[in-house]
Structure 1
């Protein structure tokens, strides 16, 4: 390396440049290499030849220091975790110190019980801990439907018993008794828990155990007797029997029957307690029974199966109409078959099992029949039996048939209808009759209350088949409810009535004459609800606001000029065996010159509306308009009706 004139080599010149004034200071990064004394030379030529392979010294990386710190941290964490696990194991797990596992709960009792039977249970608690158990409480939670032994009316949902201190190593026993209810084969679980504290701790520990019993038999037995096959539309009966199996009295028994779709309830003996499907049977002593007979009609397709579900049990605490704990369930199947001789009844042209008839109107009944057999039916006969006090027996008039008045039966057979001598497969036909309901008020004032007519239609004949002759029969029943007969009258009075009237008679132009309007409602056979009478008043009539009796509700609307009497309920027999419902109100009439010589209308047509609670139909009656010709007032003369000037 060449030197300059001053004898300075390149390295020397570089050194002077680095440290001369004005040269910015540069900070070198801190090195992790150990410092060495190195011989300096002024040029590359001064450097003696050396071995080019230089042994590198090992470097100490800062990552190794960090790895050591992390290792120490993880080791500490693992130590504390292990210590915590050991602590939990000692406290809870069984180092024979303090643990719920060292509290043994043993339940001794029968695993199979009869429903309604008193069951004893012995509960043993063994404290295997090394300390006493303090403030101990024994909690027993019984399954739903459990009853108190000795008092089956009282439910037993749960109990809590204080056992005080259970010393270490000691065994404490507790005896309990309960009565379980449920369906046969049902499992009942009793949950038992011991709550306790240990010395020098406020924590509450809980040891639990479960005991399972199986109900081997129901406290009551359900039996159903009745048809298993029936034609659609045919009436039948089911007899339901409940028998006590329990050794003690079974209290507050409830029976419920779920009816299938298509079943129409007719009646039951005894009558249902709630609706038409639930009976409160009360208490059943050991060995006693109760019987319920249910009558109804099933409609369905050929081959359809109808299932009746009968359930017995005790009612819910909050709803006595529903079963809370079921004792037993029984299903009864009824298969619907197509009737061999099908019958269909039309009342006034309408099908259905129940009909409503207007009072005093003639009824036309048509009975159609069909041979559904693949073979002939010979000597067929159709009968209609009419039953009911509301029937006018003298009005029965069959077409082609014969009416036997002594038993109120109409008969059609081969002697009156030629087609009935022999019915071909699939052959159809029709017969008919007419009759009327009778007057609902009999002589002497007797009322036929809740008038009903029952039609029982029976078809029979002889089936001719390969196996010989066989008698067949089918029947249907129809209920005809007759509406109550309500009548309404309205009268205008001047000289008589509830009020003293004023003004001239005959009415004079420009002067007001007052009148009393009397509405009268008569009701015969059935109670009526929501009764109202409504009429409108001409524009020249003024309502004076007086009503008699004062407690009757009569209102007038200026908007549509309607006056309404809200009667509410109208009892059967009102106006027949008892006083009619009546109300009077006053109006004023000031004639105009254009009305001279006329008998102007005072009140337009009045209409009564209400709901017949027996026939379950809306009914109405009307009364014609009334005018100034007061024909209902005994002191009134005909010349006092026309307006004068």
Structure 2
């Protein structure tokens, strides 16, 4: 209750009634019908009606909310005001949105601004864009996963410049999609959609560095393109989440390099590479015809040094194979059985007189494990797993004034004097620098060489 120069005004004597339905279709025009009654004995002056509501399908109030301010002037004692405000609300079907209705006013004899608030909840009984995600509920580490997303316009009017965005969980590695993304690897421009129009997106990727029992959440967003930034959704029409539970693969497969398990390795040219593939039957049933393949490739592979224990190396395909012909126990693997197969190789020299320096020397190893599971009714299930590793090759530092200079690794800037001339050599990891002296004055270089 407020007092000003004998005027008594109470918010309790101001009624704000909503005469509209408490439900609406998302993306469609919603008429907000209001009745405002001043039951005070004094007038309300300089009255403003303020409507605040979510601009997108996001729940709650934020700085991005829509604000509508309407001047109502003076509402006399006992007067009734009717207002009809047109809104457009967005949200998932079955969700609710809050509309905040505020009446700002002054009373005679006071400069203070008083406020009467009311919250009104509206249910969304349909959404302008329906989203559907078709993806498995479970996935295994290093296994391909396909995410199918379908967007359908559920509005009676066409909508232009529609974007769709997918937020990937940590551990998801994007491979490709159909159609290709419009920006980065997770934003698609769906263009203009007519009523009933559909757009389908198929996303292929894999889960890496994930563990049994983890839950990974994919989030899909759709809405109109931002006016200021074409890569952003300005107004979100709908959003959807899809959860994927990580579980152990039917056949466990881990590739260790020199006894260490990680995604990438850095090894110098003098260190032999020992590979071990650890396999496990994680099922409660037998696995028949287990087969392990390791494909070895890259510009630093010394194929003459590849050696395999109890397996077969196909040099024409750069492929090592272990199957029931070389490992008799692979014909029938009991539940919980595990084991290891191994191989070894070395890298090529990183410099030769004929080929020069090997650029970005790497060795790639892709492992594929397959098997068959016999189920009741004579049904055979094909099982598979895969694992990939990258080995980056570095070299010890070599320095000579009589031969080409090969330098690899990460070093601070060094000053070196050759032939009574002073130079600064700049080194960077994984890159080589070759310096030749021709007639004591010409310098041939592959990286950065500055004369001082």
CA deviation string 1:59-102 (max 9, x = no partner): xxxxxxxxxxxxxxxxxxxxxxxxxx9x99x965xxxxx65455
With over 3 angstroms needed to count, the CA separation of the structure-2 counterparts of 1:219 and 1:427, relative to structure 1, is: same
Indicate conservation of the 8 Å contact 1:308/1:332, yes or no: yes
Measured in 2, the distance between the counterparts of 1:289 and 1:376 equals 39
For residue 214 of structure 1, the aligned residue among 123, 133, 136 is 123
Measured in 1, the distance between the counterparts of 2:154 and 2:112 equals 46
1:238 is aligned to 146
Indicate conservation of the 8 Å contact 1:307/1:333, yes or no: yes
1:189 is aligned to 98
1:115 is aligned to 26
1:140 is aligned to 51
Unaligned runs of 5+ in 1: 1-84, 93-97, 148-153, 493-518, 538-543, 553-564, 586-645
The Cα of 1:532 is off from its aligned counterpart by 1.3
Measured in 1, the distance between the counterparts of 2:11 and 2:284 equals 80
Indicate conservation of the 8 Å contact 1:520/1:580, yes or no: no
The Cα of 1:477 is off from its aligned counterpart by 0.9
Measured in 2, the distance between the counterparts of 1:344 and 1:570 equals 28
1:293 is aligned to 204
Indicate conservation of the 8 Å contact 2:217/2:244, yes or no: yes
| 2:173 corresponds to 1:266 | yes
CA deviation string 1:194-217 (max 9, x = no partner): 223344555544443332212334
Measured in 1, the distance between the counterparts of 2:309 and 2:118 equals 81
With over 3 angstroms needed to count, the CA separation of the structure-2 counterparts of 1:213 and 1:425, relative to structure 1, is: closer
| 2:45 corresponds to 1:165 | no
With over 3 angstroms needed to count, the CA separation of the structure-2 counterparts of 1:322 and 1:484, relative to structure 1, is: farther
Indicate conservation of the 8 Å contact 2:300/2:393, yes or no: no
Indicate conservation of the 8 Å contact 2:281/2:334, yes or no: yes
| 2:310 corresponds to 1:400 | yes
Measured in 2, the distance between the counterparts of 1:110 and 1:361 equals 76
Indicate conservation of the 8 Å contact 2:290/2:369, yes or no: no
1:136 is paired with a residue of what secondary structure?
strand
- TM-score normalised per structure 1: 0.53
Measured in 2, the distance between the counterparts of 1:173 and 1:254 equals 41
The Cα of 1:433 is off from its aligned counterpart by 2.0
For 1:304-323, list aligned pairs within 5 A. 304=213, 306-312=215-221
More strand by share: 2
The Cα of 1:347 is off from its aligned counterpart by 1.8
2:441 is aligned to none
2:412 is paired with a residue of what secondary structure?
strand
RMSD over aligned CA atoms reads 4.9
Indicate conservation of the 8 Å contact 1:390/1:437, yes or no: yes
Indicate conservation of the 8 Å contact 1:390/1:448, yes or no: no
For 1:453-472, list aligned pairs within 5 A. 453-460=364-371, 463=374, 470=380, 472=382
Indicate conservation of the 8 Å contact 1:146/1:156, yes or no: no
- TM-score normalised per structure 2: 0.71
Measured in 2, the distance between the counterparts of 1:135 and 1:469 equals 79
The Cα of 1:239 is off from its aligned counterpart by 1.0
Indicate conservation of the 8 Å contact 1:522/1:580, yes or no: no
Measured in 1, the distance between the counterparts of 2:80 and 2:334 equals 89
2:208 is paired with a residue of what secondary structure?
strand
Measured in 1, the distance between the counterparts of 2:235 and 2:428 equals 38
The Cα of 1:138 is off from its aligned counterpart by 1.9
The Cα of 1:342 is off from its aligned counterpart by 3.9
CA deviation string 1:5-50 (max 9, x = no partner): xxxxxxxxxxxxxxxxxxxxxxxxxxxxxxxxxxxxxxxxxxxxxx
| 2:385 corresponds to 1:475 | yes
Measured in 1, the distance between the counterparts of 2:215 and 2:113 equals 57
Indicate conservation of the 8 Å contact 1:224/1:238, yes or no: no
1:558 is aligned to none
Indicate conservation of the 8 Å contact 1:520/1:581, yes or no: no
2:440 is aligned to none
For 1:79-478, list aligned pairs within 5 A. 100-127=11-38, 132-143=43-54, 145=56, 155-167=64-76, 170-200=79-109, 202=111, 204-230=113-139, 233-241=141-149, 243=151, 245=153, 247=155, 248-249=159-160, 254-259=165-170, 264-269=171-176, 279-281=186-188, 285-286=192-193, 287=197, 288-297=199-208, 299-301=210-212, 304=213, 306-312=215-221, 327-334=238-245, 336-337=247-248, 339=250, 341-359=251-269, 361-371=271-281, 378-423=288-333, 427-438=337-348, 448-449=359-360, 451-460=362-371, 463=374, 470=380, 472-478=382-388
Unaligned runs of 5+ in 2: 436-443
Indicate conservation of the 8 Å contact 1:253/1:282, yes or no: yes
With over 3 angstroms needed to count, the CA separation of the structure-2 counterparts of 1:107 and 1:368, relative to structure 1, is: closer
For 1:482-501, list aligned pairs within 5 A. 482-485=392-395, 487=397, 489=399, 491=401
Measured in 1, the distance between the counterparts of 2:376 and 2:14 equals 81
Measured in 1, the distance between the counterparts of 2:189 and 2:381 equals 45
2:326 is paired with a residue of what secondary structure?
coil
Indicate conservation of the 8 Å contact 2:27/2:237, yes or no: no
With over 3 angstroms needed to count, the CA separation of the structure-2 counterparts of 1:307 and 1:378, relative to structure 1, is: closer
Between the two structures, name the one with larger relative contact order (CA 8 Å, sep ≥ 6): 2
Indicate conservation of the 8 Å contact 1:250/1:285, yes or no: yes
Indicate conservation of the 8 Å contact 1:122/1:174, yes or no: yes
